[in-house]
Structure 1
C-alpha cells in the first residue's frame, strides 16, 4: 500500500511524514513525500499536512500545476482514504475567513473562522493539549476515552452539517476537533505532536477501510 504525504511546503511536512512512517512500521506500508500530481492521483491513501494561514496553504497547493486536480481525482473520484491535518483539515472547507475570504477545496461544506472563546483569559492561538470528545468513527474510536491531543491554531472549522463533525474540544465553548464523511477525515490537532494518541490515530487511518 502506498501512502502519499502531499508536499507543498507545509511547515509540519517532515514531522507528519516521520510519524506516519513510525505508525506504519512492520505493516509493509510505504510512505512517500511528493508534490507529483501523478503520484498523488495513484496513491492508495493521502495525507495533507498544513500549518500557518489558510490562504498561504491554498496558494501553496495552487503553485504546483495539476496538484489540486490530482487530489480531486484521487479523493473524490477514486474515493481513496484521505487525512487532513491542522490547516490540511481546514482546506477541506468551502471557505476560509482569514485576512479576507479564500476558497477551500469544498469537500466538506463549512467555513474556517477565527477562534472566539467566551473566556477572555484563554489565549489565541490555542497552543497545547486538549481533551477530545469520544467518537465512533473508525479512525478515532480506538483512542482512549480521555484522549488528549496537541493543538496549535487561531482559526477553527464551522461545519454546515453537524453530521460532518466527528469530535470536539472545549476551548471557551465547543470547537471542532475532527470532521469527516465517506472516505474523508480531517483533524484540527497535530497527530505528529500528540505522542501515543497521535500514533494510534495514524495507525488506525492506515488500516481504515471506508464503507
Structure 2
C-alpha cells in the first residue's frame, strides 16, 4: 500500500498485509494521539506497551510516517516539542539540561551541544551564554552554572536567597542552618553566603552566629 504525501503524512510504502492506506493512516493517527495524550515524549518501547502491535519496529515504522512526530535519540514526540525537535539554541540548551538532570556550567552545555545528535551544532560558547541569560527557563545558580527553572532553584542574588530562607523560617537561624538551606537552591561558596550575611543591611545578628531579617 502506498501512503501518499499530505500535510500530515510522508510518502510511504506499507506492507499490504497490514492494511490499505486508510488503515495505515489510522494507525499512524493513533500513535500521534497516544503521544499527545501522554504530554511528553515516549520511547518506541513505551509506545509498543501502550499499543497492540507485533513488534516495536512496526510502531517505529508507523511513527516515521507522520509529519507531526519527531524523534531525538530513542524518544518520540510532537514536532512542536523542543525536547525532540529543538529548533534553536535555547531549545538545544533545554534538551541538554533535561537529559543531564543537573545544573551545568555554560561551557559544559556548549560541549554537550557539540557532541550531540542535533542538526547545526556549530554554536559558540558566547551564543549559548547569551541565550541562557535571556531565557526564563534557565536560572543562574552559581558562577556560570545554570539549572532549569522547573527544578526549583531560586533566582536572584545570594542575598535574595538568604532573605527567602529567613522569611520562610519565620524565626532567626544559625548561620550553619542558613548556609545549608541556601545551598539547596544555589551552587555558591559557603564564604559567599557568610559574607552576605555579615555585610548586607537586610540581615541582623541577633545572637552568636544567629541571624534574622532586619526589621
TM-score w.r.t. structure 1 length?
A: 0.23
Bigger-Rg structure (1/2): 2
Task: Compare the two structures and name the one with the higher helix fraction.
Answer: 2
TM-score w.r.t. structure 2 length?
A: 0.23
Highest relative contact order (Cα 8 Å, sep 6+), 1 or 2? 1
